[in-house]
Chains A and B, each alone.
Chain A
Amino acid sequence: MQTSRRGFIGGVSAAALLSGSVAYAQKKYDNGASDTEIKLGHAGPYSGPASAYGVIGKGIEAYWKSVNDAGGINGRKVNFITYDDGYNPAKCVEVVRQLVEQDKVLCCFNTLGTPSNTAIQKYMNTKKVPQLYVATGASKWGKPKEFPWTMGYQPDYHTEGVIYAKHILANIKEAKVGILMQNDDFGKDYLEGFKEGLGKDNQKLIVKLSTYEVTDPTVESQIIQLKDSGANVFFNIATPKFAAQAIRKAAEIDWKPAQYMTNVSASVAAVLKPAGFENAQGIITAAYLKDPTDKKWDNDEEMKTWRAWMDKWMPGANKGDANYVYAYSVAFLMHQTLKNCGSELTHANVMKQAASFNKLRVPLLLPGITVSTSATDFYPIQSVQLERFKGESWELFGEIMSAESA
């Protein structure tokens, strides 16, 4: 009796297990997925004018190596195929076609650059292959109605611009804003957001707009112009090298406006240190990632894990380069997406899972910032927090702000 009962229970549980495994075995694969492998495609600038961003691709590659080393995703190894497009949109079209048609990837992931992604967006959406978590801060990647196969990642420049404008309006009386802007899509996105944030009536607050080209050697003359315009607020829309030059020059000519700087140049090691900490006090920026060069995070668990990971998987790489933090965080999100797909590794399901995150904590985002997406919300990270430079590191202040509240 006893034994048969036990046998009965055993049989039932075996049946339950079996039915469970039957449900689990309902596998569906599109191109780029199989029982043993998931193929991901990537294109980035390993050469050319934007090759500083090439480390993102290398960081992501190392991430998948570490995932594969730990057994892969649901037993499948990630085959990460990455090509150099030299930041050239025409070349990007070519290599992405190779990824989709020859290599037959499950999805393209974190392709880099606004022009390059614009060039492939229509193609990816005609082919119905996901173009996920693209590495650009332009505001046009979250349009599920027109482009249901394209999704961005980081908070967009436009929103950030709005946030600075609101902060200026709320905190500075009789603001006269001088803007230094890199003359490209990056600069213009910020400027548009900033103008929108000021509102129509306050456009006149911008007293001077000086631009520079990414190929210029310095921005010194622009800073002198801005000072001469009598501006008391300085909005610094520049990439790291120029941002540092601008801060230093402003101090040299004794111009002391309230300074706002974009998140792109918020690195302590790459910008604020060369600019001189004494010149950088009080600068305000918005952040969503932890800065690896900021001493404040030295005892942070996520940062410690990341540093240990870097030592193991990217030995010799510069741990002060925020691009590696970015790469780690975005690859983590892709990892989660693929995990959630289970064994239904189809283009459609990847897209569906990417659009079903609810307050997912991604390591190395600032405390309190999470990833949420939905069928109508294709902006994974929409929150930033303002921070002010004090001493030798950034000090967060105020609430976490998201696009809606901005």
Chain B
Amino acid sequence: MPAFPKKWLIVLLVLGVVVPLLQPVLPNLVSDYRLFLVSTMMIAAIAVLGLNLLTGFNGQISLGHGAFYAVGAYIAAILMDQANFPYWATLPFAAVLCFIVGYLFGLPALKLEGHYLALATFALALAVPQILKYKWLEGLTGGVQGIVLNKPEVPFGLPLSEDQWLYYYCFIVMVFLYWAASNILKSRSGRAMMAIRDYHIAADTMGIDTALYKTVTFGISAAYTGIAGALSASAIAFVAPDSFNFFLSIKFLIGLVVGGVGSLAGSLIGGVFYVLVDNSAQALSTFVKNDLGLQFDLSAYTVFGILLIVLMYLMPMGIAGGVYALIRSFRRAAPVSPERSAPAATRKPAQAGESH
């Protein structure tokens, strides 16, 4: 995957900062609800990025990232609820604790490869909601009742609505985390991570400490997802075990695959997809039933499934990979100066995870 073009990145960043401020001018288009929805997309994008670091860049499969998300959310919620922490101060704690949990989980994971690792993480995703209900922890977690929180307040008397502030809060965190991730990937460690993914034994013989890199990657990945969880606790202002069912982990994985495995931009797309398609699948199924008058009850998940199959068929590299392939074939068709098009043509087809 090529580096995201700089000028596009800047355009996106500027848009990201400016659009919420248009609320007084376009109250219907930039409504509080839409901003909230975009905030949840950004939170999902962070979680998918966390999973991508592990799966896309290090080749370890996880079906259990919902568990780290839950742990992050609960750490934030408990700190706010029991220790009166301000909401922003919970992020580093969630990150560190999730890193530790992820690192520790990464140790036994060293012995497990591929499907076996997927199953182990699957077990983790199933166990965490039950553990949260456990009676010894009930005093902290509120058991099945969960914890009710306050929404983040707008600081410094800024003239923003709660949702505008929530948006900026998530935006700042997301931009920082993406910047950090892209730096990690560009560094020696990032290259080591990808070398392990591509050919484990070769990486070993080159002197890369594969065990260390794998466990640390697991930790970082968990920390990213944990931060997303902590943000979600603030955004939803409520945590309960039912919010973190097994399907959450699957959705992260869907977001990852659909967005583009091994692509930073793909993680962002995956986060948007995760929220958007879930909602529009439902709208589509009611549309089919009520407006087209077809007498079968398509559940939203059926529509979701069909969309996924179509998408995977059309864009096997995920949306990021598909768009890149489209642009490339378009460029190849258009007359471009020979020096520029030559290297692009020799490049391998957008292989998942060729990050620069």
A residues adjacent to B (C-beta < 8 A): 46-49, 83-84, 86-91, 93-94, 97-98, 101-102, 113-116, 118-119, 121-123, 183-185, 188, 213
A101 close to B32 (CB less than 8 A): yes
Q: What residues on B are CB-neighbors of A118 within 8 Å?
A: 145-146, 148, 238, 240
Taking A102-B31, A115-B242 as given, write out 19 further A-B residue pairs in contact, using a Cβ cutoff of 8 Å, ordered by the A residue number.
A46-B299, A49-B245, A88-B245, A89-B238, A89-B242, A89-B243, A90-B236, A90-B238, A91-B243, A94-B279, A114-B145, A115-B144, A118-B238, A119-B146, A119-B148, A119-B237, A122-B148, A184-B133, A184-B144
- A145 CB → nearest B CB, Å: 17
- B135 CB → nearest A CB, Å: 9
Residue in B33, B148, B247, B282 whose CB lies within 8 Å of A97: B33
- Provide the bound-state CA to CA distance between A393 and B275, in Å: 48
- A126 CB → nearest B CB, Å: 9
Interface string of B196-234 (1 = CB under 8 A from A): 000000000000000000000000000000000000100
Q: Pick the most buried of B40, B232, B236: most chain A CB atoms within 10 A of its CB.
A: B236
Q: What residues on B are CB-neighbors of A116 within 8 Å?
A: 242
**B160 touches A (CB below 8 Å):** no
Given contacts A89-B242, A90-B232, A213-B130, contact A188 B33 (CB under 8 A): no
A93 close to B238 (CB less than 8 A): yes
Given contacts A48-B247, A90-B236, contact A115 B146 (CB under 8 A): yes
The 8 closest A-B pairs by CB, nearest first: A101-B33, A119-B238, A115-B240, A90-B243, A185-B144, A184-B144, A115-B242, A90-B236
- A58 CB → nearest B CB, Å: 9
- A57 CB → nearest B CB, Å: 12
- Provide the bound-state CA to CA distance between A89 and B142, in Å: 15
Q: What residues on A are CB-neighbors of B176 within 8 Å?
A: none
Q: What residues on A are CB-neighbors of B282 within 8 Å?
A: 83-84
What is the chain B residue whose CB lies nearest that of A82? B286
Q: What residues on A are CB-neighbors of B247 within 8 Å?
A: 48, 86
Given contacts A97-B33, A119-B236, A183-B133, contact A88 B242 (CB under 8 A): yes
- Provide the bound-state CA to CA distance between A115 and B299, in Å: 23
Residue in B133, B146, B243, B299 whose CB lies within 8 Å of A47: B299
**B177 touches A (CB below 8 Å):** no
Q: What residues on A are CB-neighbors of B325 within 8 Å?
A: none
Interface string of B30-64 (1 = CB under 8 A from A): 01110011001000000000000000000000000
**B271 touches A (CB below 8 Å):** no
- Provide the bound-state CA to CA distance between A93 and B148, in Å: 12
User: What are 29 of the A-B contact pairs (CB < 8 Å)?
Assistant: A46-B299, A47-B300, A48-B247, A49-B245, A83-B282, A84-B282, A84-B300, A86-B247, A87-B242, A88-B243, A88-B245, A89-B240, A90-B236, A91-B243, A93-B238, A97-B36, A101-B32, A102-B33, A113-B242, A114-B144, A118-B145, A118-B146, A119-B148, A119-B238, A122-B237, A123-B237, A185-B143, A185-B144, A188-B144
Given contacts A84-B282, A188-B143, contact A89 B236 (CB under 8 A): yes
Q: What residues on B are CB-neighbors of A93 within 8 Å?
A: 236-238
What is the chain B residue whose CB lies nearest that of A138? B145
**B293-319: which have CB < 8 Å to A?**
299-301
Given contacts A83-B282, A88-B245, A118-B240, contact A94 B40 (CB under 8 A): yes
- B177 CB → nearest A CB, Å: 20
Q: What residues on B are CB-neighbors of A122 within 8 Å?
A: 148, 237
- Provide the bound-state CA to CA distance between A35 and B247, in Å: 43
What is the chain A residue whose CB lies nearest that of B240? A115
- Provide the bound-state CA to CA distance between A286 and B78, in Å: 38
B33 close to A47 (CB less than 8 A): no
Residue in A49, A98, A113, A121 whose CB lies within 8 Å of B33: A98
- A119 CB → nearest B CB, Å: 4
A115 close to B145 (CB less than 8 A): yes
- B25 CB → nearest A CB, Å: 18
Q: What residues on A are CB-neighbors of B133 within 8 Å?
A: 183-184
Q: What residues on A are CB-neighbors of B148 within 8 Å?
A: 118-119, 121-122
- B306 CB → nearest A CB, Å: 15
Interface string of B236-257 (1 = CB under 8 A from A): 1110101101010000000000
Q: Pick the most buried of B145, B232, B247: most chain A CB atoms within 10 A of its CB.
A: B145
- Provide the bound-state CA to CA distance between A332 and B242, in Å: 30
Q: Pick the most buried of B32, B37, B144, B300: most chain A CB atoms within 10 A of its CB.
A: B144
A46 close to B300 (CB less than 8 A): yes
- Provide the bound-state CA to CA distance between A83 and B280, in Å: 11
Q: What residues on A are CB-neighbors of B32 within 8 Å?
A: 101
B240 close to A119 (CB less than 8 A): yes
- Provide the bound-state CA to CA distance between A46 and B281, in Å: 13
- A388 CB → nearest B CB, Å: 31
What is the chain B residue whose CB lies nearest that of A81? B286
- Provide the bound-state CA to CA distance between A83 and B36, in Å: 18
Interface string of B141-170 (1 = CB under 8 A from A): 001111010000000000000000000000
- A214 CB → nearest B CB, Å: 10
- A42 CB → nearest B CB, Å: 12
- Provide the bound-state CA to CA distance between A122 and B147, in Å: 12
Q: What residues on B are CB-neighbors of A183 within 8 Å?
A: 133, 144
- Provide the bound-state CA to CA distance between A48 and B300, in Å: 11
- Provide the bound-state CA to CA distance between A183 and B245, in Å: 16
Q: Pick the most buried of A84, A102, A122, A184: most chain B CB atoms within 10 A of its CB.
A: A84
- Provide the bound-state CA to CA distance between A86 and B243, in Å: 10
Q: What residues on B are CB-neighbors of A84 within 8 Å?
A: 282, 300
What is the chain A residue whose CB lies nearest that of B283? A83
- Provide the bound-state CA to CA distance between A114 and B299, in Å: 23
Q: Pick the most buried of B32, B37, B243: most chain A CB atoms within 10 A of its CB.
A: B243
Q: What residues on A are CB-neighbors of B245 within 8 Å?
A: 48-49, 88
